[in-house]
Amino acid sequence: MKAIRHFRTITKHKIKVMTLCFRIGLYKQGLLHDLSKYAPCEFLTGARYYQGTKSPNSVEREDKGYSLAWLHHKGRNKHHWEFWVDFTRQGLLPARMPKRYVLEMFCDRVAASMTYQGKNYSDKFPLAYYKRGKHTYIMHPDSRALLEKLLYYLDDHGLDATIDYINSRDDLKRD
């Protein structure tokens, strides 16, 4: 049963991200978003650690101290800031994310909040969630600034106005 519930949750999330991506013109990214979640190494972990209220990868991390599913996922999905962190002689350094992936990350965060919060979702939740963890993010300052701008805009103006704002800005679609 957990496998079926996990499948429903990740598919519901994927459809929400796809819908949001389509609304801002990111059709290919909307279609391809999170396909790796259906790969056995991610899906089986997701089914095993399924809770329905938070990411199974977090639960696996609590259990084992790491999440192989997450390591697989973040290495294949460019909308995660972790994909853009490189190990250099200077240490861990963030690369600037192309804007289209920051936009997909925004859609992903909103959709995840909608999926996990359900009827309790509000447009304030994605920013609140971001604020709780942002001190651990190794993000390029430009990528961080854009994500924060969108999350604050969402918090202040709501989802439809934020989508309109994104669509009114040609510079957000170019890298």
List, for residues 19-28, the tens digit of each pLDDT value.
999 999 999 9
Q: What is the pLDDT of residue 174?
A: 65
User: Which residues lie closer than 8 Å to 157 by C-beta, 6 or more apart?
Assistant: 165
Q: What is the pLDDT of residue 1?
A: 87
State mean pLDDT over 33-39: 97
How far apart, in whole angstroms, are the C-alpha atoms of residue 71 and residue 83?
10
Exposed (0-12), middle (13-18) or buried (19+): which is 171, by Cβ within 10 Å?
A: exposed
Q: What is the pLDDT of residue 147?
A: 98
pLDDT at 158 over 70: yes
Task: Give the pTM.
Answer: 0.94
For the stretch 72-98, pLDDT in tens is 999 999 999 999 999 989 899 999 999
Please, which pLDDT band fits residue 106 given cuts at 50, 70 and 90? very high
How far apart, in whole angstroms, are the C-alpha atoms of residue 166 and residue 61?
34
Q: What is the pLDDT of residue 23?
A: 97
- How many structural domains does the chain have? 1
CA 46 to chain centre: 16
User: Is 91 within 8 Å of 5 (Cβ atoms)?
Assistant: no
User: Is 85 within 8 Å of 45 (Cβ atoms)?
Assistant: no
> What domain range includes position 39?
2-172
Angle at alpha carbon of residue 37, lines to 33 and 38, rounded to 5°: 105
